[in-house]
A and B are shown apart, each in its own frame.
Chain A
């Protein structure tokens, strides 16, 4: 059974944030809403300091806590594993935001724009659906592109090939082979959310 997921190569990511910008360009998310972003941290003490980068987006969990917490059924897990939000059902209570341990859900409060006097947050026609106000939104793995047989925009545009997209349900797929070869790990595996995003060093 198909289960779409992603493998992120932390060794290849250099935090260029192309994925962040690509996501914004493709989905037209307003200021403050980052469906995909790269978290940063520093560890160690000078002169032995290392910078850490963690590309982050919705984990499309196997057992998504956001889905069970949602009081309206707006958040749903598709048969192919992609977790989606039906904006027409969402009431904007933000229970899913509080339930998600990964911090990848965003409440779209008002119609903010990066550009003055524009209704759209971006100055070009959006590829997908415009984001309505008063609802929660998140990465949908570029569902429209995936249904067209394409890869998510962030994967396609990553200049270091740190992002890999594929079918976790097929043991011969590239993502499964990568997970097996490089011991892919899930974030917060102990919480039982069974994320569809794996990280490899």
Chain B
């Protein structure tokens, strides 16, 4: 078989790299909200900010509702938990279910005892971290070369945690619930955003030098093609650079502008996180068959 394939095309009846069309806007929103909610719960557990739990829980519940809309047969959603040994979707359903259950428990029955409270917070932290990783791993298990990268779960984890931290910062600054914690969160956010930037660069590097021509094509779509605006403008500029500048500005401020700066930073994070998920999903291409 000495056949060669032509360049990219979108027609399903042509031998060429095909764009995936199965997962789009609803899935991007779902993964983004799920990651942000888990990030917020992780921050709440790590910094002992119980008031943030509700926000994280609501974000996750909203993501579940969006996922139901995406499913062809939502009335059977519970069946999706039956194959955790091999399916990332099953693992995600179980992890999200456990995270919601423990969060509800922590909200309804706050534990005062030190050992039990630490156990609940640790459980929340571990589950939230796994959910954040899941939001990337679920796309890694696919036939799409650009998604088959260990950097995708790492990217999802970093972005989710930074979005959760951004939302936590906005709430903490608005409600003035802790000066020391606010400063700690701000410093953590600056580090997280720097990490996000590095992981994005690493991911783009891995695409650019991938042995798969299709993965390189996906990389070009993200940087120079039709997805450059949502990816570079949304995921990188709005999602990383702008929040970094606003958070650094808030660190330097001492007056009343902090809450506004951090609220804007949190909103930019949310938008940037969504832009990242959306552009990565849209950049997904299947390899040409010949």
Contact = CB atoms under 8 A, between A and B. Distances in A.
Interface string A139-171: 000000000000000000000000000000000
For chain B, which range describes its interface: under 10, 10 to 19, 20 to 34, or 35 or more residues?
A: 35 or more
Contacts of B4: 43
A56 B80 contact: no
A135 B15 contact: no
B124 to A, nearest CB: 24
Contact of B80 (A91, A109, A134, A201): A91
Interface string A1-41: 00000000010000000000000000000000010011111
Contacts of A71: 79-83, 87, 89-90, 93
B286 interface: yes
Nearest to B5: A41
Given A56-B289, A91-B72, A91-B74, A40 B14 contact: yes
Interface string A37-72: 111111100000000101010000000010111111
A72 B72 contact: no
A123 interface: no
B115 interface: no
B77 interface: yes
A54 B289 contact: yes
Contact of A92 (B23, B72, B287): B72
Contacts of A69: 86-89, 141-142
Interface string B113-144: 00000000000000000000000001101111
Contacts of A187: 289-290
Interface in B99-115: none
A180 interface: no
B180 interface: no
9 contacts: A41-B5, A54-B289, A69-B142, A72-B83, A91-B71, A98-B142, A98-B143, A109-B72, A134-B73
Interface of B: 1, 3-6, 12-16, 18, 20, 22-23, 70-74, 76-77, 79-83, 86-90, 93, 138-139, 141-144, 284, 286-287, 289-290
